[in-house]
Amino acid sequence: MKNIGIISEYNPFHHGHAHQIEQSLAQTGADSVITIMSGSFVQRGYPAIYDKWLRTELALLSGANLVIECPVHYAVSSADFFARGAIETLMATGIVDYLSFGSEYDNLNQLTEIAKILTKEPPHFKEELKASLSKGHSYPKARATALSQTFGKELINEVSQSNSILALEYLKWLEHHNHPFSPVLIKRKGSAYHDENVHSHYSSATAIRKRLLDASRPVSQLELEQLMPAPNAALIHSRNPYPVSIKDFETQLLYRLKTLSPTELSNIREVNEGIENRVLLLSKTAKTYDDLVNGLKHKRITQTKCQRLLLNVLLNHTTKTYLPPAYIRVLGFDEKGQTLLSQMKEKASLPIITTVSKASSELLDSPLFQLDRRASNLYDMVLPLNEQCKGEPDFIKKPIIIKSQK
């Protein structure tokens, strides 16, 4: 039995995600799909539009067989930590054979060559990187400049789109770990990652979130079916869940910033190079989340880094170093996934958590789980009362189990 691993956010699950699963299975002849999915918050420093259990159900309805959670410590990180944490967790399952990922640029051999440079960091690359950083460029821009010296500016511009950047990080960590999985590259289909316009079939997750967050125009089931697979559209239409955005956390964030001392702020993840002084100054005048982001942005600090920094403030995330995976948290499975779970219990190199209340105190006290717990509780607080849990979500909600769709 061969299994594909996919690193995902599914924010929310759409036609492009279904295409990736279908093509990955077709290209490899694999039997099942295991996805490691971001939980309450995602890599760009935003909350997921729907909670992790609903997004798990959507994934299982449309092709995934087993969903495990990518801890917040990795999920809300730079592409490097995001890729490393997800890949090392998938490795710990002991049952993944392929790693499938999407990319705007679909030359796998060329991407692999670039990834080798990023892994080995030869002297000429380090020198160019250092020189570019010394000019005040952000790290992503400095890295692209350094790579351009070897591969040419035109190619590096091509691989500097969102999905291709992550693809390079996945390949880098596969190289670092001596290729534990075979890479499967699926060319991204449809509109660009940041395209905010809804299209007839392959709309970006950005456009779909924008449409779902537009409270002035209710979304019909027919329109939902243009945005996502039919089973998902039916589920969203029937439940009409509250779509969460960063604006729901605006008051809590502004309050947190006004109550933190300079020392406390300097301990927050992503806060470095004296940026805490700028944050504290902004906190005295900012009235909105956008005020904070726009005030923090600067040529050395990307907007995404600003967003993650602010989210880390909200979560009181103070662990700046990389924490290795400590467990495998199961969010849901179908009938095939149940078989995968049985195999994983025999082969996994880490403890598996299916029911949090039954997990050991050692796992529940780990920094990884404590941060996930805090994130779930915070997320739950902004939901309408009728959608909130009567207690802590991670301890109350059980894994999603559905009948196989295929």
Q: Which pTM value belongs to this model?
A: 0.94
Kindly state the helix (H) or strand (E) to which residue 35 belongs, with its residue range.
strand 32-38
Kindly state the tokens that stand for 230: 């039919």
Question: Tens digits of per-residue pLDDT, 57-105?
Answer: 999 999 999 999 999 999 999 999 999 999 999 999 999 999 999 999 9
What gap in Å lies between CA 287 and CA 291, rounded to an integer? 7
Question: Residue 115: what pLDDT?
Answer: 92
Confidence of residue 215 (pLDDT cuts 50, 70, 90): confident
How far CA 235 is from CA of 58, 201, 212, 238, 241, in Å, comes to 8, 18, 14, 5, 9
pLDDT at 193 over 60: no
Question: Residue 302: what pLDDT?
Answer: 86
What gap in Å lies between CA 153 and CA 151, rounded to an integer? 7
Q: Mean pLDDT throughout 13-30?
A: 96
What gap in Å lies between CA 140 and CA 277, rounded to an integer? 23
Contact 172, 83 (CB under 8 A): yes
Q: Mean pLDDT throughout 282-286?
A: 91
Confidence of residue 136 (pLDDT cuts 50, 70, 90): confident
What gap in Å lies between CA 71 and CA 93, rounded to an integer? 15
Question: Residue 156: what pLDDT?
Answer: 87
Contact 32, 74 (CB under 8 A): no
- Which positions ≥6 away from 124 have C-beta within 8 Å? 149, 150
pLDDT at 225 over 70: yes
Query: In whole numbers, what is the pLDDT of the chain averaged over residues?
Result: 92
Contact 30, 4 (CB under 8 A): yes
Question: Residue 338: what pLDDT?
Answer: 96
How far CA 376 is from CA of 23, 195, 248, 330, in Å, comes to 33, 29, 14, 15
Percent of the chain with pLDDT over 90: 79
pLDDT at 114 over 70: yes
Question: Residue 268: what pLDDT?
Answer: 95
Residue with the bigger pLDDT between 10 and 196: it is 10
Query: Strands 400-401, 3-8: parallel, antiparallel or unpaired by DSSP?
Result: unpaired
Question: Residue 155: what pLDDT?
Answer: 87
Question: Tens digits of per-residue pLDDT, 263-274?
Answer: 999 999 999 878
Question: For residues 170-198, b (16+ Cβ closer than 10 Å) or e, as one string?
Answer: bbbbbbbeeebbebbbbebebbeeeeeee
Q: What size, in residues, is the chain?
A: 406
Q: Which amino acid is it at 181?
A: F
pLDDT at 382 over 80: yes
Name the least confident of 32-46, 147-161, 219-233: 147-161
Question: Residue 406: what pLDDT?
Answer: 46
Q: Mean pLDDT throughout 158-172?
A: 91
Q: Mean pLDDT throughout 326-331?
A: 98
